[in-house]
Structure 1
């Protein structure tokens, strides 16, 4: 059958030789490419959602997710070394499992990056509108600044439009990036390195300012929802959410055909970028927890509310009206943390850095 066809490795390599791309990337450029793809909405935005699921235990969620990605990265490293061509998982699957599974993997990758790009757009919206509000006092109506909340009524999925209808800024940035891609754009390794430097500088500033004022009591209880939890809560449940923060690490393997000595440099780029990002994620999470606390929001009965439910949105709105909204309710957790601990200007700069750098992630996705 047609879908049983396997493209031999020799044929893949021969095709790559005929249409080979210029090999110019070294280990450093690949590592920066990986860091640029990984550090995005995950650390700037998902910190709050992870804290709602696991409390201070979200620090370990970042480590768990990073370990799982590292195992996958070892597989990518081996395959990219054997098949140093573009195409990533699609090409590898085509060579080993056949055309049908390769077709499925290809569409799964497209879905992964489409969802990731959408989520980064939402994260960018939160940071930009938070920055605008802090500087000018202007706020968009709730109906235009966030999407609807999802929940269950009698076991049936339901949609609640009371807190939002559509995220207009997210749509605008998606449209602008799409327009750039339509008219044609090219990214160089040097431009990517500059954007990575902006993001890393923002995270480093956050760590340096937050660590001197950590409070031990903010880490207790360490795992308020447990290790495994239930209904997607707990440290492992938060790790499943945080895994999204590492989406894009495989972008390094897609550049194998443009890499000098891919057998050596691709593994360095994959594992090096993951190691850098995991360390940053852990330290930033510790900074948030230790300075302002990160205990989950609970309902009247004391149950922890899922961060994507209508009940959570309503409870956060109530606390915000009282001026008591915790960091788990924030759309811009890092910038808001810095404002709370007395560094509003630096907080705005971190928000600005996220606003500048996150569109580059959307472009890569």
Structure 2
């Protein structure tokens, strides 16, 4: 084991490498995987659910951009809450965020399992999960640069396949499929649309946007930390545009879910109905590439969050704060995430995605509140109308809109999330002797805490 201070994360990522990691994390093809689930929830207005989620995400993305300027470090919501509000609260936010960061790599393994079983139904499902997890874990241990390069190739491939889907959809419209035209308002509104259903759908799809916030985990590996706010906004806008366009075409082609045998993951059947067996295989290969890209990015992100929490002593430093001396990656954390991902052998996509949203919405809420805590209460930036709008109104709107999604979380997700948070609270209470003393080094070094306001 090396001394922790002798190894640091390597600054090797440019703007588009980070945006690519964000898009890879978001997995653009996930819109087709969850289409059946969200179409049922929203009564056939999936693109409206994505627009609703995008509006919420934009407010929160602006808050992330503000905070990453102040704290250009890995750790994301955990770091911002810890440094602007309270170290114990920061730990609880980081612990809750771990829920979605840890489970998303497992979701990717689960989706890979579904794809491969649909193509090779006679092969045991566990073989695909183990093979996939071993490959992703190995690449992440090896090099962040290799992870980024592989991710970029896979993201470009999946975007090309989505483009091919749009072209084939236009052909199918001309043959009378679905609404029979590209230009229809039904995917956005019809007589059976209910606001509560749209909000429920938006809560489901908000996990698709997890990726714009995850790029903040690469702040310590960016060649220039100043690019981070721009990387966040580019990730949100590009990802949101892809989600909206793809879901609009899919909803226009399939006004309801009656065509699908498996609504838990409709991508294979969408590919079959739009382009036949050959395109189904190509579409699955593109989705496979997208899922691997997301797996690489999400695996890397959660490993960095665990690293920061370990480096600060929140989690056992000897394990979680370790950086491999040769590869300069948090190797033990990468392996741990791989082991958790092996649990993808049995769960359902809908169940795990609902659990992910609990942690994500907590992180989004507290990033918005951290803007207020830092700029309004600490820096006293409330003396002009511009400051009030930027540092109070905007983040309050982001927190409030996130709260609307909170109210539509599934009951199972709330129960599991509360149990998870309770475990974190108990751990923190033990670590701090029931809050009588601070045994955790929460403060950043001056070299780390470089504001670029």
Q: When the two structures are superposed, what TM-score results if normalisation uses the length of structure 2? A: 0.56
2-side partners of 1:280 and 1:249: how far apart? 14
Q: Deviations over 1:193-239 (max 9, x none)?
A: 1121122122121122113433436965845753324xxxx111111
Aligned to 1:202: 161
- After superposing the two structures, state which structure 1 stretch, 209-218 or 121-130, moved more: 209-218
Task: Please list, as runs of the form range in 1=range in 2, the aligned pairs for 1:63-102 lying within 5 A after superposition.
Answer: 63-102=51-90
The answer to whether the Cα contact below 8 Å between 2:165 and 2:274 also exists between their aligned partners in 1 is no
2-side partners of 1:36 and 1:51: how far apart? 24
Aligned-residue Cα RMSD (Å) equals 2.9
Aligned to 1:213: 172
2-side partners of 1:242 and 1:337: how far apart? 18
When residues 122 and 351 of structure 1 are mapped into structure 2, their CA distance, relative to the original with a 3 A threshold, is same
Are 2:144 and 1:187 equivalent residues in the alignment? yes
2-side partners of 1:81 and 1:29: how far apart? 19
Are 2:195 and 1:228 equivalent residues in the alignment? yes
Q: Secondary structure at the match of 1:128?
A: helix
The answer to whether the Cα contact below 8 Å between 1:52 and 1:294 also exists between their aligned partners in 2 is no
How far has the Cα of 1:79 moved from its partner?
A: 0.7
* 4+ runs deviating over 6 angstroms: 17-20
When residues 170 and 117 of structure 1 are mapped into structure 2, their CA distance, relative to the original with a 3 A threshold, is farther
Are 2:18 and 1:30 equivalent residues in the alignment? yes
1-side partners of 2:97 and 2:194: how far apart? 30
Residues matched between the structures, number: 284
When residues 177 and 67 of structure 1 are mapped into structure 2, their CA distance, relative to the original with a 3 A threshold, is farther
The answer to whether the Cα contact below 8 Å between 1:131 and 1:352 also exists between their aligned partners in 2 is no
When residues 139 and 211 of structure 1 are mapped into structure 2, their CA distance, relative to the original with a 3 A threshold, is farther
Instruction: Mark the runs of 5 or more structure 2 residues left unpaired by the alignment.
Output: 299-453
The answer to whether the Cα contact below 8 Å between 2:168 and 2:275 also exists between their aligned partners in 1 is no
Aligned to 2:342: none
When residues 27 and 237 of structure 1 are mapped into structure 2, their CA distance, relative to the original with a 3 A threshold, is same
Q: Secondary structure at the match of 1:329?
A: coil
When residues 86 and 342 of structure 1 are mapped into structure 2, their CA distance, relative to the original with a 3 A threshold, is closer
The answer to whether the Cα contact below 8 Å between 1:54 and 1:224 also exists between their aligned partners in 2 is no
The answer to whether the Cα contact below 8 Å between 1:225 and 1:235 also exists between their aligned partners in 2 is no
Aligned to 1:327: 260
